[in-house]
A and B are shown apart, each in its own frame.
Chain A
Amino acid sequence: MIYDQYYLTSLGLAVTWDNPDIQLYLNGTPVSSDQLLVGTTYEVVAQIWNNSTDAPVVGMPVAFSFLEFGVGTISVPIGSTQCDLGVKGGPNCPTYASMLWTTPATPGHYCIQVLLQPADDTNPLNNLGQENTNVGTAHSPAVFTFTLRNDTDKQQTYNWVVDAYVPAPPDPCGSTNSAADRAARVARNRRGLQPVPPGWQLTVVPETPTLDPDQSTVITVTAQPPAGFNGNQVLNVNAFHAGGIAGGVTLTVQVT
């Protein structure tokens, strides 16, 4: 399993598109996926977990792909590799799969997808991790654009849910680790518990776009920080349609 935004959303949890299980490296140094250079070779590394205490996986295919920055955009394969994944609590869990990726010559932002393809899986719904981030400097206001594409086979109307969720570092383990302890941790990650802070003015245009299958449109997000704000503010822009979450992006507004 990997940090899968679609699965976590289906559980009612907030998600970040700055995937904690996907990291890009340039010459061995971690780099943010929002500052990619054109025509440059990066190493994409995926951290992969096993929730089974019984079944290791040997030779699991891991497929890497990239997409135009946005929601529902078309996935372009980078390549596929294999990895061995140990059982939970044992060696090789987590394990890591990596793939070299040379960014397109066209300037722009891109998303990374990592798809695990185990031969057997008790829960096949948590195998797609996505990294969609962008950073913008607020010049009163910060403006972001991305593409929204209908990747389903029927017309969809989209709604936006914006929050400021950032996953907190896990608590220190206490002397007990009961189901209630775990439930409390899950509860802290429920969707809606980290709204956009007061004073921020956000607009997403178009507000409720309706798209036919394969139709796409450009979405513009305008973020106006409150007066006197300094620092970074993370905004997760999630798109929902009648079938659930369609995707999302994580935007960071910088005010210096």
Chain B
Amino acid sequence: MANYRQYTQCVDISNFNPANPYTQAALTGLYVTLPAAVIPVLMTLAGGNPWCLALLAEIYLFAAIIGYCYWWLFRRLICIPPTADHPNDSTGNQMVIGTLIDTLPPYSDSNPLDIDNDFSLGILPSCIPLGSQGPFTEANPAPGPFGYLITEQPVTKNGVPPPPPAFTGQRAVDYKFKDSSQDISSQVLHCEFEGRAIYDMFLAAQAALFIAVAALFACQVPVYGWIVALILALLGLLVIGGAVGLGHLDSGDPSDVNPNLGELHTNGPNHTGASVLMIMGHWVCDAGHRYDYGDLFYELHPITMCCIASPVTDCDPTQVIFLKKRWQTAANDATSSATLQSQKLPQNQWQIHPIIDGCQPAVIV
């Protein structure tokens, strides 16, 4: 299994700030800009160029971008503790086997300011009928062996974070008809392969902030200082623009975790034909979807492993627990250091068949 990509970190609910992220970003901008403004303001009062203070606007912008990216990367996702019946595996993963209902590739929406380049999947967990809506709560849990993954957990109850709609999955349609009244909407588990764009922006904004602060001070230098400041200010904007472009080149993709993953299919008009996927990932609640979808999403984010799998034909919990253990064993074996070392050995370099282009390892007596 290839290394999965992770730029985010989830937070415990105790560290989660339910405030609007735009408010948080605006406050971050102030926290950075106000201290930075003290000396330039004093210099201006002492006879410096007052136009230089206009650069504080750029500093505020870059600081706010940092604040937003920080929230996105490190304060948006709430860790969902594993339940007693469904512990994490040894690497902190939960697992689902289910039907691929929809996909949301990076940059597929029309908002040019949305630079999120995660690749998202909507998975209907096995043994949940198509069209199941919920909301799924403790009193009305989602059915099936994986239903708990989209059933409201204590961590997101009691108004933290608001709103508490108890709709903890993603609304998804497996096939969109011209007459939308024929669509079947289901509550599914949202899963994401992480892209790097927000992290790139986070780094770029920090660099740009440093440049803007330098511009602010350079501006106070007599005669040519304003020219240097102007160049630096433009350079800061250029760095931000470069980060936007760079992010487009580094989107999340299913092949990140499984280069051998075959073509993925969603259902056709007869509601059949979709790929069945086995997905492992970190179980989180994405509070950010309050602002784009109006719901909380429970997610596997980031996806750490993804394979096309055989459908679950027996929903007996005992059988599914056994199946989960087999997948977990296979995944752990595939990623163990012993396996990764073994894959470099000469006897494992065959491509056609071991008897055709393989070799026998040396026998050490």
The answer to whether B333 touches A169, judged by C-beta atoms less than 8 angstroms apart, is no
A50–B346 Cα gap in the complex (Å)? 16
* A-contact bits for B333-362, CB 8 A (1 contact / 0 none): 110101100111111111111111111111
Which of B260, B310, B348 touches A89 (beta carbons < 8 Å)? B348
- Residue on B nearest A169 in the bound complex, by CB: B360
Interface size class of B (residues with CB under 8 A): 35 or more
A60–B339 Cα gap in the complex (Å)? 21
Give every chain A residue within 8 A of B259 (Cβ-Cβ): 54
- Residue on B nearest A60 in the bound complex, by CB: B310
Give every chain A residue within 8 A of B358 (Cβ-Cβ): 170, 185
Interface membership of A242, Cβ < 8 A = no
A39–B86 Cα gap in the complex (Å)? 49
Give every chain A residue within 8 A of B350 (Cβ-Cβ): 51, 182
What is the size, in residues, of chain A's interface with B at 8 Å between Cβ atoms? 46
In chain A, positions 73-90 with a C-beta closer than 8 Å to chain B are 84, 86-90
A57–B307 Cα gap in the complex (Å)? 8
Kindly specify which of B35-43, B113-121, B205-213, B323-331 makes contact with the partner chain: B323-331
The answer to whether B359 touches A54, judged by C-beta atoms less than 8 angstroms apart, is no
The answer to whether B330 touches A86, judged by C-beta atoms less than 8 angstroms apart, is yes
- Residue on B nearest A94 in the bound complex, by CB: B354
Give every chain A residue within 8 A of B309 (Cβ-Cβ): 58-59, 119-120
Give every chain B residue within 8 A of A185 (Cβ-Cβ): 356-359
Q: Point out which of A3, A54, A122 has the most chain B C-beta atoms below 10 A from its C-beta.
A: A54
The answer to whether A11 touches B346, judged by C-beta atoms less than 8 angstroms apart, is no
The answer to whether A170 touches B354, judged by C-beta atoms less than 8 angstroms apart, is yes
Which of B2, B351, B359 touches A174 (beta carbons < 8 Å)? B359
A171–B362 Cα gap in the complex (Å)? 10
A55–B349 Cα gap in the complex (Å)? 16
A58–B333 Cα gap in the complex (Å)? 12
A119–B307 Cα gap in the complex (Å)? 9
CB distance from B253 to the nearest CB of A (A): 14
In chain B, positions 161-217 with a C-beta closer than 8 Å to chain A are none
Which of A52, A167, A173, A177 touches B362 (beta carbons < 8 Å)? A173
Contact of A89 with B330 at beta-carbon distance under 8 Å, contacts A51-B351, A59-B310 already known = no
Interface membership of B258, Cβ < 8 A = yes
Contact of A171 with B360 at beta-carbon distance under 8 Å, contacts A1-B353, A119-B276, A120-B261 already known = yes
The answer to whether A174 touches B356, judged by C-beta atoms less than 8 angstroms apart, is no
A52–B330 Cα gap in the complex (Å)? 13
Contact of A182 with B258 at beta-carbon distance under 8 Å, contacts A54-B1, A59-B323 already known = no
* A-contact bits for B1-12, CB 8 A (1 contact / 0 none): 110000000000
Contact of A8 with B330 at beta-carbon distance under 8 Å, contacts A54-B2, A120-B308, A122-B262 already known = no
Interface membership of A198, Cβ < 8 A = no
A181–B278 Cα gap in the complex (Å)? 37
13 more A-B contacts (CB under 8 A) besides A58-B309, A122-B260? A3-B353, A54-B2, A55-B1, A59-B326, A87-B333, A119-B308, A167-B355, A170-B358, A173-B345, A173-B360, A182-B349, A183-B357, A185-B359
List the 4 closest pairs (A to B, CB-CB), nearest first.
A120-B308, A177-B346, A89-B343, A56-B330
Write the residues of chain A forming the contact surface with B, with a CB cutoff of 8 angstroms: 1, 3, 8, 11, 13, 20, 49, 51-61, 84, 86-92, 119-122, 126, 167, 169-174, 176-177, 181-183, 185-186, 189
Write the residues of chain B forming the contact surface with A, with a CB cutoff of 8 angstroms: 1-2, 257-262, 276, 278, 307-310, 323, 326-327, 329-331, 333-334, 336, 338-339, 342-362
13 interchain pairs, CB-CB under 8 A: A52-B260, A54-B258, A89-B343, A90-B343, A120-B261, A120-B262, A122-B260, A173-B346, A173-B359, A173-B362, A177-B346, A185-B357, A189-B356
